[in-house]
Amino acid sequence: MERSKALELVKKQLTDKRYVHTLGVSETAVLLANQYGADASKAELAAIFHDYAKFRPREEMKRILVDEHEDERLLEFHHELWHAPAGAVLVRREAGIEDEEILSAIRWHTTGKPGMTMLEKIIYLADYIEPGRVFPGVEEVRSIAKQNLEAAVLAAVKNSILFLMSKKQPVFPVTMDTYNDLIRMETMVN
């Protein structure tokens, strides 16, 4: 799918602020893909569509999660997590994107998962560090991303977990599994 067509489809689904965020994620994903040797066109498309379902009604997202047999535990956590797996389904249905790598990167961009592919890591990280993001720790992760993709993803996951813990919010188990997987991988490398 052409970039202009993808942006046209996505713009209808998002607020102006979220559309600007999406452009930032897309730009960042392409930079990361080029830096780390991933497919830049897939990274761009996944980034453009990553928040496709962000503003869908909760009931619609919940129905998709149930109908598609997603992890039932998602329904016990904040609905903010729902748009990623629901979005992957809707992007396939409504935008006609069938590429499993792209859909999986959309699917896992909020929680991460153990054994993430390079494209999944790139979309997760691009969403976290895009230029419009301003919060404690983001500059450090941006700096790490210039040197080491895995270390940057680990730092982003860790920061997300610590943020949730500081707010006394539950952490989705798959996100904890992602952290553990990344730590094990780091230990093997060092």
Nearest to 106 by CA among 93, 119, 115, 118: 119
Nearest to 52 by CA among 98, 21, 83: 83
Cα 64 to Cα 70: distance, rounded to the nearest angstrom? 8
Cα 88 to Cα 173: distance, rounded to the nearest angstrom? 20
pLDDT mean over 70-77: 95
Cα 144 to Cα 63: distance, rounded to the nearest angstrom? 38
Cα 42 to Cα 22: distance, rounded to the nearest angstrom? 15
Give the homologous superfamily in CATH for domain 3-134: Hypothetical protein af1432 (1.10.3210.10)
Q: Above 70 in pLDDT, residue 190?
A: no
pTM value surpassing 0.85: yes
Tell me what pLDDT residue 109 has: 98
